[in-house]
Amino acid sequence: MVFAGAAMQAQLRKYACSWCMRRYKQASSLGRHMRYECENAGKKKEQVCHVCGKRYFRPDTLTEHIQACHFQFLYNTTQASC
């Protein structure tokens, strides 16, 4: 029964990365993975937080981090930390 579920998941995730074989439901998710995330394709965490130095693969993840962890810094009040 577990195998039937796994097979169904594999069918739903029909887009696979040629470098790491990670699978996605949507072609756009695979494209994002290939552009920013796949370490096997030589991608590195190039997005760096200017406040604390944390690194991220994707610019949207960096933006979320800054908004969540450094909200006060953005508005020139006391600095928050993650």
Which residue do the tokens 């995730």 mark? 13
10-43: pLDDT as tens digits? 678 899 999 999 999 999 999 999 999 998 888 9
- The mean predicted confidence, pLDDT, of the chain is 85
pTM of the model: 0.66
* pLDDT computed for residue 3 by the predictor: 57
In whole angstroms, how far apart are CA 39 and each of 44, 45, 46, 51? Answer: 6, 9, 12, 25
* pLDDT computed for residue 1 by the predictor: 45
Sequence letter at residue 1: M
Alpha helices in the chain (DSSP H): 2-12, 27-32, 59-69, 71-74
* pLDDT computed for residue 9 by the predictor: 67
Strands (E), 1-82: 15-16, 23-24, 47-48, 55-56
Q: Domains in the chain, start-ordered, CATH in brackets? A: 2-41 (3.30.160), 45-82 (no CATH)
* Coil/strand/helix, residue 25: coil
Confidence of residue 80 (pLDDT cuts 50, 70, 90): low
